[in-house]
A and B are shown apart, each in its own frame.
Chain A
Amino acid sequence: MASFEPILTRHIHREDSHTLSGYKNVGGYKALEKMFKTMAPDEVIEEVNASNLRGRGGAGFPTGVKWGFIPKDSHKPTYLICNADESEPGTFKDRLLLNKTPHMMLEGMIISSYAIDCHLAFIYIRGEFYQEHKILEKAVEEAYATNLLGNDILGSGFDLEVVIHRGAGAYICGEEMGLIESLEGKRGWPRIKPPFPAIEGYLRCPTIVSNVETLACLPHILNRGADWFKSIGSEKGSGPKLYCISGRVNNPGVYEEPLGILLTDLIFKRGGGLIDGRELKAVFPGGSSSAILRADEIDGLRMDFDSLSAAKTMLGSAGIIVMDETVDMVSVCLNIARFYAHESCGQCTPCREGTTWLVKILNRIYQGNGSLNDIDMIFEITDNIGGLIDFSKGSFGKTICPFGEAVAWPIRSFVEKFKDEFIAYVAKGVEVS
């Protein structure tokens, strides 16, 4: 592993990293000063575009390009929402940033707001993050007290209010349109697109939703320049990235590495390898919504958006969940299916009905009452909810939001890649009866 000096998490081991003074001591809010002194909003957008920063929330959409979608001639206010709803199973990187360096994200929010001419920004933090919420409240208070927020920030003439908004337990509110509805005080049913949030988002005004980690990158881009940022990682995705490793590894945790690091390095070096020296069986590379990879598929695989999508999975939230040889794939698959059935918002027919159907079938197989036909049905149902893998079978993207694909991908990959285990369950059931 080439040596890489962490950027986002470099100082988090300091006791006061979450405080304003702690952040300022290590160069915090310098980017903001620089921006106000030397950059026009357009120049900020240009710089971010040049940095090739892609969103860290899951979809990997270039942040600068998204900013560019905001209508120039709109008379409506523009809003920024920091997506701190982090609920993807296997993902806990934003939580680390919120706990340890909330000001970095806040600085990023101010930069982003300045670039898109937003004067009221929200942090949508998942309801379960209670401690993080307290820390964040403190950070925002500190920022207001030192004129980093409020009117005429640091004498720049730029005003910004930041409101922290707590979610209340719904994975789907991490999806940007679900989040916007939820912020509006409604159930988190993702609104159909188009119109896209950059045109009609919160209260039908132009809105940018950005992930915590994405925003935390911004101060560094302004500080050290787009070229520097681009030099980290590969061409396909630049910058530092937080990877979450959990499951059956010796050293679970969040690790900062460049985009494009080898998956094997993450598991075996940073993650310390598997517990009790067991064999690797499979791994989710990007949260539970990504298709799993078998141990034999990960050699030389790089953790960036494009390499993973070439491997028919995705970087997603970079939540790496490691499963060792002892893990029962049928039960894991059932666990994941159950999660999605519980979290489906329930408005789209295929997602609402399909997820529970999958749980019922998987449960049946797990109980030893399944049939080979059930295994085929799982393929069909996943295809019908959001089938993305076997294009010959039909179209893809069958639901309002990508949740449908987030169900279909992993479930299908389990059955496809560990079919023998499912068949064994069926056979066992046949024996018993």
Chain B
Amino acid sequence: MAQNRTFKFTNPQRVEKILSQYPDKRSATLPLLHLAQEQEGYLTSAAIEAVAELVEIHPGEMMDTVSFYTMFYTKPMGKNHVQVCQTLSCSLNGADSLVDHISEKYKIAHGDVSQDGKISLVKVECLGSCDTAPVIRINDSNYESMTVEKFDKIVESI
């Protein structure tokens, strides 16, 4: 997919606010990256360079940070980004069959986006909700005590 060549924050006040909260510029890195990702769905190279410029570091150093964290994406994800917890408690309670179901239904593996761009799938680690395992996160919301049926219903509804 062609990447946007330029990037501009649509909410400059928010950027100012974030920068003003920290004693140094670089500390604003993570919140600014979150903001950029919210805006574009993922982090384009242009966005990474723009944030780097804001906090006054080299884009390479910015990429060093970006690439460390699993929640930052450098390529587009599906409209519904499905994150299935695969860690112990969820796995003990049936996470694997959820992954299989989603993989089969949408013909996607871990890290893929479905052809229509509607669904993407990643396996993630413990979401801190083990008492309601298995847990799936779709975009920013957690769905607890998941079953295959429940999952299909939720996806339909959003």
Check whether chain A touches chain B (CB < 8 angstroms): yes
Residue-wise interface mask of B (121-141) relative to A, using a CB-CB cutoff of 8 A (1 in contact, 0 not): 000111111111100010011
With the chains together, A384 CA to B89 CA distance in Å?
Answer: 27
Question: Quick check: A332 and B70 within 8 Å, CB to CB?
Answer: no
User: Chain B, 20-31, contact with A by CB distance < 8 Å: what is the 0/1 string?
Assistant: 011110111111
Task: Tell me the bound Cα distance from A284 to B70 in angstroms.
Answer: 26
Q: Is the CB of B21 within 8 A of A89?
A: no
Chain B residues with CB under 8 A of A323? 92
Among A19-27, A53-61, A151-159, A241-249, the stretch in contact with B:
A241-249
Which of these binds chain A: B8-16, B61-69, B97-105, B147-155? B61-69
Assess whether B39 is interfacial by the CB under 8 Å rule.
Answer: no
Q: Are B64 and A247 in contact (CB under 8 A)?
A: no
CB-CB under 8 A for A89 and B125, given A170-B69, A321-B130: yes
A198 vs B91: C-alpha distance when bound (angstroms): 38
A170-B30 contact given A186-B64, A339-B87, A339-B126, CB 8 Å threshold: no
Task: Answer whether residue A47 sits at the interface, using C-beta atoms and an 8 A cutoff.
Answer: no
- Checking A90, A127, A167, A184 against B89 with a beta-carbon cut-off of 8 angstroms, the contacting residue is A90
Contact with B along A333-356 (1 / 0, CB 8 A): 001100100110100000000000
> Which residues of the other chain, A, contact B129 by a CB distance below 8 angstroms?
92, 95
How far in angstroms is the closest Cβ of chain A from B104?
A: 21
Within 8 A of A (CB), among B70-98: 70-72, 86-89, 91-93
Contact of A187 among B65, B87, B126, B127 (CB under 8 A): B65
Contact of A246 with B133 at beta-carbon distance under 8 Å, contacts A95-B128, A128-B127, A336-B88 already known: yes
Bin the interface of chain A by size.
35 or more
**A254 partner, pick from B31, B86, B131, beta carbons under 8 A:** B131
Tell me, rounded to whole Å, the shortest Cβ–Cβ distance linking B51 to chain A: 10
- For B89, what are the chain A residues with a Cβ–Cβ distance below 8 Å? 89-90, 246-247, 252, 321
B107 within 8 Å of A (CB atoms): no
Question: Is A169 on the interface with B (CB-CB < 8 A)?
Answer: yes
Smallest CB separation, A274 vs chain B (Å): 12
Q: Which B residue sits closest to A93, measured CB to CB?
A: B128
What residues on A are CB-neighbors of B29 within 8 Å? 185-186
Report the separation of the CA atoms of residues A92 and B56 in the bound assembly, to the nearest whole angstrom: 37
Task: Name the distance in Å between B18's Cβ and chain A's nearest Cβ.
Answer: 9
Tell me, yes or no, whether B45 is within 8 Å of chain A by CB.
Answer: no
CB of B114 within 8 Å of the partner chain: no
Contact pick for B131, options A94, A184, A245, A327, CB 8 Å = A245
Minimal beta-carbon separation of B81 from chain A (angstroms)? 12
User: What string of 1s and 0s marks CB contacts (under 8 Å) between A48-84 and chain B?
Assistant: 0000000000000000000000000000010000000
Residues 388-428 of chain A: 1 if any B CB is under 8 Å from the residue's CB, otherwise 0? 00000000000000000000000000000000000000000
A288 within 8 A of B: yes
**A165 contacts partner chain B, Cβ-Cβ < 8 Å:** yes
Are B65 and A343 neighbours in the complex by a CB distance under 8 Å?
Answer: no
Contacting residues, chain B, for A319 (C-beta < 8 A): 130
Is the CB of A150 closer than 8 A to any CB of chain B? Answer: no
A171 to B64 Cα, complex, angstroms: 17
- CB of A165 to closest CB in B, whole Å: 7
Smallest CB separation, A142 vs chain B (Å): 18
Point out the residues of chain A lying under 8 angstroms from B124, CB to CB: 128, 169
In contact, B71 and A169 (Cβ under 8 angstroms): yes
Q: Considering the complex, which residues of chain A in the window 208-228 have a beta carbon less than 8 Å from any beta carbon of chain B?
A: none
B48 within 8 A of partner (CB)? no
- Give the chain A neighbours of B69 by CB distance below 8 A: 127, 167-170, 187-188
B128/A170 in contact, CB under 8 A: no
A429 interface residue (CB < 8 Å to B): no
Q: Mark A102-142, 1 if CB is under 8 A from B, else 0.
A: 00000000000000000010000011111100000000000
Instruction: Identify A184's interface contact among B26, B33, B128, CB under 8 A.
Output: B26
Nearest to A343 among chain B residues (CB) is B125
Counting CB contacts under 8 A, is B118 at the interface? no
Q: A128-B127, A184-B26 are in contact. List 12 more A-B contacts (CB 8 A).
A: A89-B89, A90-B88, A166-B30, A166-B31, A168-B69, A185-B27, A185-B55, A248-B92, A252-B130, A321-B88, A321-B92, A345-B68
Give the B-binding residues of A (Cβ under 8 A). Answer: 77, 86-92, 94-95, 120, 126-131, 161, 163, 165-171, 182-189, 203, 244-248, 252-254, 284, 288, 319, 321, 323, 327, 332, 335-336, 339, 342-343, 345
13 A-B pairs with CB atoms under 8 Å apart are: A90-B130, A92-B129, A92-B130, A127-B71, A128-B71, A128-B137, A168-B69, A187-B67, A203-B24, A247-B89, A335-B86, A339-B125, A339-B126
